[in-house]
Amino acid sequence: MFINITTSETGDNKGSSGALVNYLEKENQMQIEKGKGLELENWFNGTGNEIGRQEVRMKIDGNIAKLGRSDSKFFLINISPSQKELAFLYEKYGKEGTKEKLKEFAIKVMDEYAKNFKRPGINTHKDLLWYGKHENYRYYKHTDKEVKDGTRQKGERKEGRQDHIQIIVSRKDITNRIKLSPQNTSKGKNKEHSAKLGEFNRTAFKQSGESVFDALFDFDRGLKDTLAYANTMQNGAVAQKKQMNLLENTHNLKADQTIINDLGKSVAEGVFESVGEMISTTGKIGAGLLNLLMEPVYIAPQNNAFEPPRRKKKKKGIDQSQGIQR
C-alpha cells in the first residue's frame, strides 16, 4: 500500500486549486473525446458520490481564511494499492465493486488523517474539507526509467491494474477556522508547538492506512509486504534488521500472521533492544522463535575431497651432544 502526501500534482498549492482539479479530470476528458460522456467519474467526499468539479474548486478555494499568499492552501493525498492488493480486491468484488470499495477505504483513510493531528474537534473525515477522485489508469512521466531509456513514451498508459484514489484536502478544517498541515512533522516533541498548530506523524498515518485496509477487507498481509518491514530493511539499525530477519523466518511456526506483523511494527519503532528482548515478549511463539535462533547453520561441503593431514618426515641430523647420527 502506497500512501503519499504532496503539495500538488501540478507543483503549486499556494494559489487556486483549479489547475489540480483540471489535471485530475484527465480521464473524464479522454472519455468525452471518445464520445463516452455518460461514463464520467465524479468526485466523492463521504457525504456524496456525484460531486462536480466546479464545486470542488469553489469550496477548496473559498476555505482559506487567514492564510497568507505564501501559505499552502490544500494538499494532495495519493492512495495506491499494490498489484497484489488490487488482485485480491478484483477477485473478491470485481472491477466495479473494487472501485466502490476503494472509495469506502478512502473515507476511512481520511478518518485516520483527521485523528493524526491530535487536535480537539478534529476526529473524523467529517471535520475536514476534502474531495476524492477514483482513477483507473496511470501514465508514464518523463521522470520514469522506461521513458528515459526509450522503451516507453511519455503519456503512454502503464500496464496492469492501476486503480487508485487522489484526494484534495483543504489546509483549513470544514469550519474554516483551524489550520491543519501535514507538513508539521513535530510528532509531539515540541508540546507547546503541537498544542498550537497540531502535529502530524506521516509514518504513523501511512501505517494506519495499511492496517485499515487489512481490517476492512480481511487481507492477509505477509510481513515482507508491510511498511514496517520495508522501512526497517531500508533505514533500520543492525539490531532491528536482525530482529526482522528472525520474524521473516517464522512461516513454519504456524503463528498468527497478525501477531507477527504487530511484532514487526514494534521492531520498526525500536521497541526491542535485542533479539532476546523481542523473544521474551512474544508469548506462545517465543519458544518457536528461540528454536529458530538456535538452529545450527548448515555449511555446504567444499568441492575438494577430504584429505587427512600429511605426517612430517623426520630429518636426519647429527646430535652434537651424543656424537651419533639419528
User: What confidence tens digit (pLDDT) does each residue in 138-197 have?
Assistant: 989 888 999 999 999 998 999 999 999 999 999 999 999 999 999 876 655 555 655 555
Q: Is residue 319 part of a domain?
A: no
| DSSP annotation of 137 | -
Q: Is residue 322 part of a domain?
A: no
109 and 141 in a single domain? The answer is yes
pLDDT string in tens for the chain (326-residue length): 999 998 776 668 999 999 999 999 989 988 888 876 657 899 999 999 999 999 999 999 999 999 999 999 999 999 999 999 999 999 999 999 999 999 999 999 999 999 999 999 999 999 999 999 999 999 898 889 999 999 999 989 999 999 999 999 999 999 999 999 998 766 555 556 555 556 799 999 999 999 999 999 999 999 999 999 999 999 999 999 999 998 888 766 666 788 888 889 999 999 988 888 887 776 655 555 656 554 544 444 555 444 555 555 555 544 444 443 44
> Does the residue 164 lie in any domain?
yes
Query: Sign of torsion, CA 150 142 32 129?
Result: positive
pLDDT at residue 184, rounded to an integer: 78
Question: How many C-beta neighbours within 10 Å does residue 300 have?
Answer: 5
Residue partners of 167: CB distance under 8 A and separation at least 6: 76, 77, 78, 79, 106, 110, 130, 131, 132, 133
Residue 17 and residue 105 share a domain: yes
Residue in 184, 170, 192 with CA at minimum distance from that of residue 20: 170
| 85 and 192 housed in the same domain | yes
Residues 173 and 274 in one domain: no
**Number of compact structural domains in the chain:** 2
Amino acid found at 41: E
Residue-level pLDDT at 260: 85
Are residue 202 and residue 53 in the same domain, yes or no? yes
In a domain, 302, yes or no: no
Closest to 205 in 3D by CA, of 80, 109, 105, 85: 109
Do 201 and 231 fall within a single domain?
no
**Cα–Cα separations (whole angstroms), residue 298 to 243, 252, 287, 292, 325:** 20, 18, 21, 13, 52
Conformational region of residue 202, where left means phi above 0, alpha means psi within -120 to 50, and beta covers everything else:
alpha
Inside any domain, residue 60: yes
Other beta carbons within 10 angstroms of residue 155's beta carbon come to: 10
Q: Which of 175, 197, 216 is the last residue of a domain?
A: 216
Same domain, 261 and 184: no
pTM: 0.81
The answer to whether residue 324 is domain-embedded is: no
In a domain, 100, yes or no: yes
| Residue type, position 100, single letter | E
Question: Alpha-carbon distance 101 to 44, whole Å?
Answer: 13
| Domain range enclosing 280 | 222-294
pLDDT of residue 248: 86
φ and ψ at residue 118, rounded to 5 degrees: 55, 45
Look at residue 306 and tell me if it is in a domain.
Answer: no
Same domain, 79 and 25: yes
Q: Which CATH number characterizes residue 175's domain?
A: 3.30.930
Q: For residues 164 and 162, what is the distance between their CA atoms, to the nearest angstrom?
A: 6
CA-to-CA distance for 33 and 82, rounded, in angstroms? 30
At position 231, the amino acid (one-letter code) is N
15 lies in the same domain as 164: yes
CA-based Rg of the chain, rounded to a whole angstrom? 29
Total residues found in the chain within this entry? 326
